[in-house]
Amino acid sequence: MSVTDVFPLIKVPDAWPVSVVATLAMVCLAGLDLAGAVFAKEWASHGSVRALVLGVGAFLVLFWVYASSLRYAELALVTMGWVVMLQVGLVLVDRWRYGVELPAGKWVAIAVVLVAQAYLVLAPSAESGGVAAGGAG
């Protein structure tokens, strides 16, 4: 009996293109990571046991989704896309939920970093020819 018998990885239909699977994985990972980060902030700020339990759960599910996604898409592609989406989410949560005000220069820096990261994720590589190619096939 293997670990994957007890905790099976998520499977997607073979007909789904790698780009769709990778994009869904990135969105799910960013959402789970963002939720876990908010729960961690709430636990650190207020000592909420509920936030602690929910945060641990979010990160366990995140690991499961991450491992599952790597059966279909490249490690660097999924990770970079997830990080880009997470960064946007964290900046917005900090702004709207926690009232963090950033000066214009920092917004410009954020935009430059996000554009550079988007280029890393979306630009075709010499080997794979872009997002739609590749995978763990």
Task: Summarize pLDDT for 13-48 with one digit per residue, the tens.
Answer: 999 999 899 999 999 999 999 999 999 999 999 999
Instruction: Report yes or no on 3 lying in a domain.
Output: no
pLDDT (mean) for 83-107: 89
pLDDT above 50: residue 132 = no
Q: What is the pLDDT of residue 4?
A: 79
Domain contains 59: yes
Domain contains 89: yes
CA 12/CA 63 separation, integer angstroms? 17
Q: Is residue 135 part of a domain?
A: no
For the chain, the domain total comes to: 1
Q: Would you say residue 137 lies in a domain?
A: no
- The answer to the question of residue 25 being in a domain is yes
pLDDT at 121 (0 to 100) = 76
pLDDT number for residue 119? 85
Q: Name the pLDDT band for 49 (thresholds 50, 70, 90).
A: very high
Half-sphere exposure of 137 (CA within 13 A, CB side): 11
Spacing of C-alpha 33 from chain mean position = 6
In a domain, 50, yes or no: yes
